Each structure stands twice: as structure tokens, then as C-alpha cells.
Structure 1
Amino acid sequence: MIGAMMLALGAAPAAAGDDALVVYKSLSPEVALEAAQAALKKCRDNGFQIAVTVVDRFGQPQVMLRDRFAGLPAPDTATRKAYTSLSFRASTADLSKSIKSGQMDPGLARLPNVAMLGGGLMIEAAGTLLGGIGVSGAPGGDKDEECAKAGLDAIRDKLDF
């Protein structure tokens, strides 16, 4: 009877167990590493010593690279930027502007593991959120974001599906 009602509504009956599984796409470690290496290279080419982190779709670090002379807080801050961008589904530069303009509650910036500083971008393809990339250590969030964008650009052709 349920199957007949579903067909009447235009939905095919689900096979046993379909609702017990979730299927998702994720970055391979190799692609995450490629993004991080491209971001590191861009910052090096610009004369900046940075740290870069790629987090997976669940906010867990997948790759973290720290250049030799990057500041001590850079790895943690890069990880928090990647996590923040992923969590809020926006660039951390845009989030920072929203807090400064009063569009977002400043209390959000005090949440654990959150960094509302420029340099964090989402990694997504075809509407699917895959993770985040965060860069820290360049003199300014705009320069960090430029390097993070270089990381995304390096893997873009591998993500389009």
C-alpha cells in the first residue's frame, strides 16, 4: 500500500536500506595536498612565509603545511580559517565584513575553532561542499586569501563534475 501511494505521488519506492546510507563526495589526500602546495607556492612567490590547511567536509584537517619561517600561530589560525569558511559556507573575509558592519552577531567570532579573518575559502564543486582551505601568515587577510584562491585554482579542473 505504501509503495502504491509513493507511486501515486510520483516517487519510486525506496529499496530496503536506502535510507540507512549516505553517499557523499570527498577530496582525496592527493588533491588536498595539491591545493595546499599551490597555496604555499603562491605565497612564497609573493615573499610570504605561511601555513596552509585543507579540511575535509567534516572540518577535520586533511593536510597542513607550514613554511619554515611562518609565525607560531599560523598553523592553528590557518586551520581555524578553513574550518570557519566550511562551517559558515562563506569566505572568511566576507564573514569578517559582515561582523564589522553589524550584519552578523560579533559573538559568533568567539565560537570555538572560529577565525573571522580573511584567508579562508570553501572548497566546492557543482553545489557540493567538499571542504575548506585556510592560509595564515601573510601580512593581511587579503594576501592570505589570494594564496588560498591559488590553491583552489590549482585543483579546479579536478573538482568539476
Structure 2
Amino acid sequence: MRHLPLILAALLAPLPGAAQGLVTERTVSAALAAEAAAAAVEACAGRGHRVSAAVVDRAGVLRALLRADGAGPHTVSSAQAKAYTAVSMRASTSQILETVRTNPGAARLPDIAGFLIVGGGMPIRAGEEVVGAIGVGGAPGGHLDDQCAEAGIARIRERLN
């Protein structure tokens, strides 16, 4: 019992290096999110695909959503889920899908609420920092959704730093 005060002091002491107070984080702006979503939908339309594009911030909260004329109603939720998955995992949903297929330890990732692990979701980075993600749903294949998501990011890339 004579060590109890030392144990309590150790448990209650702040962790070395732990941030105290406010944390500043960068995230994609509403204006850039809207522009990226529009560019992705435009890129897919140019290829004959009617899609929806969603952009989420670094916390996975929706910042912009655009559903092309004639895009299926399911494309809205799939685009948002792909963006949420990409920002949560800080990787493209195509990369995550490959990991699920090849790594038994990742087999349960698709069971996480809100995740959709098919192509079309990509993190948006400012340097190495993930500041949001874009998801595209509705093209006839995840690789095509990926191409449109890449077009959305390309449109805003130079303004991400």
C-alpha cells in the first residue's frame, strides 16, 4: 500500500508528448469539395456514365454531394460510403479491396458500419496529410469510378497545399 500514491500519480499524470489543449487540423473546404465532386461527375459524364460523387472532410463528414441527371438513387449512398471508407482507412477503396482479398486478417473490414469496399473511393491529400476523400458511384465498374474520382482530385490538386 505504500506504493499506492506513486501508482496513482503515474496514472493521473499527462502522457509525455500528448497534446494538451486545442488541436489544429487541415481539412478540405466546402468550395474545393464541391469543385472536386463536380469534376468527377463531369469526367464520368464525358465517358457516358451517370454517377454521384461525394466528398467528405478528414472526419468523414459530408462536405459536397452531386448526383448526375439520370444517376441511380443508390449511387448517392455508395459514393458517400466509398468516400467515408477511403478517409477512414487513408487509402483508396480499390487498395482496401485488394487487402481484404489477400490478407485474412483484413477479411472483416467490410463488416464495419458505413464501409463500402469496392473501387471508387480515394483519399484527398495535402502533401502526405489526408484532408478528406472523394467517392464516386454509378459507373459500370470500380475501376471506372476510380478514374472519375482521380479526375475530381486532379481538378483541385494544386490548391491543396
Distance 2:27 2:89 in 1: 18
Distance 2:71 2:104 in 1: 33
Amino acid across the alignment from 1:83: Y
Q: Cα offset for 1:104?
A: 4.4
Which residue of 1 is the match for residue 12 of structure 2? Answer: none
What TM-score do the two structures reach when normalised by structure 1? 0.85
> What's the secondary structure of 1:58's corresponding residue?
coil
Structure-to-structure mapping, 1:49-128, within 5 angstroms: 49-128=50-129
Mapped partners of 1:28, 1:98: distance in 2 = 30
Q: Identity of aligned pairs, percent?
A: 37
Partners of 2:50 and 2:87 in 1: CA distance: 24
Report the TM-score, using the length of structure 2 for normalisation.
0.85
Question: Cα RMSD (Å) of the superposition?
Answer: 1.2
Give the drift of 1:29.
0.9
- Cα drift, residue 102 of structure 1: 3.0
Residue 103 of structure 1, CA deviation? 5.0
Deviation at 1:105, TM superposition (A): 2.4
CA separation in 2, counterparts of 1:103 and 1:146? Answer: 28
Task: Establish whether residue 156 from structure 1 lines up as the match of residue 153 from structure 2.
Answer: no
- The CA distance in 1 between the partners of 2:23 and 2:67, in whole Å, is 34
Q: Flag structure 2 segments of 5+ consecutive residues without an equivalent.
A: 1-18
Asked if the contact 1:59/1:87 (under 8 Å) is kept, the reply is: yes
CA distance 1:47–1:77, shift in 2 (3 Å) = same
- Give the match for residue 28 of structure 2: 27
Kept after mapping to 2: 8 A contact 1:98/1:104 = no
In structure 2, distance between residues paired with 1:157 and 1:99: 32
Hey, what does 1:36 align to over in structure 2?
37
